[in-house]
Amino acid sequence: MSEPGSMELFNGHLIGLVNWTFGALMSVKFSEDVVPLTDLKTNPGRIVRHAAESRRPVLLTSRGRGVAVVQSVADYEKAEEERAFMRAVVEGLSDLEAGREVTLSDAKARFGLK
């Protein structure tokens, strides 16, 4: 995969690759984004505001171990949409690999389209 939006072969099929930004969205700055659970208890607004403004999740720790993640609702919804899209792409590629495909004219006929 060279560039987002480039074309490559997958199992003999030419596919367009999607610019998927989930990796960039989920990068963590350990100096800012890892906080003890007690910080959430004492100042929850600051933690939630930080997650929303930085567009990065905040990792909550207890006794030095990660226990939960705080993420803005908008970022969570975007990540869920991207995961669902990627699952659909993988499922579609799997269907192609297994020979479960129809021609465009057959698909139009199934749906009563011209």
Q: Whole domain around residue 56: which residue ranges? A: 7-110
Is 27 contained in some domain?
yes
Is 79 contained in some domain?
yes
Is 42 contained in some domain?
yes
**Total count of domains within the chain:** 1
Nearest to 52 by CA among 37, 70, 34: 70
pLDDT of residue 88: 94
pLDDT of residue 30: 79
pTM passes above 0.75: no
105: domain CATH number is 3.40.1620.10
Q: Which tens digits make up the pLDDT trace of 30-41?
A: 788 999 999 999
Q: Which tens digits make up the pLDDT trace of 42-79?
A: 999 999 999 999 999 999 999 999 999 999 999 999 99
Is 19 contained in some domain?
yes
Residues 6+ away with beta carbon under 8 Å from 16: 5, 6, 7
Q: Between the CA of residue 2 and those of 6, 23, 74, what are the distances in Å?
A: 7, 16, 29
Is residue 19 predicted with pLDDT exceeding 70? no
46 vs 85: CA distance, rounded Å: 32
Is 1 contained in some domain?
no
Is 2 contained in some domain?
no
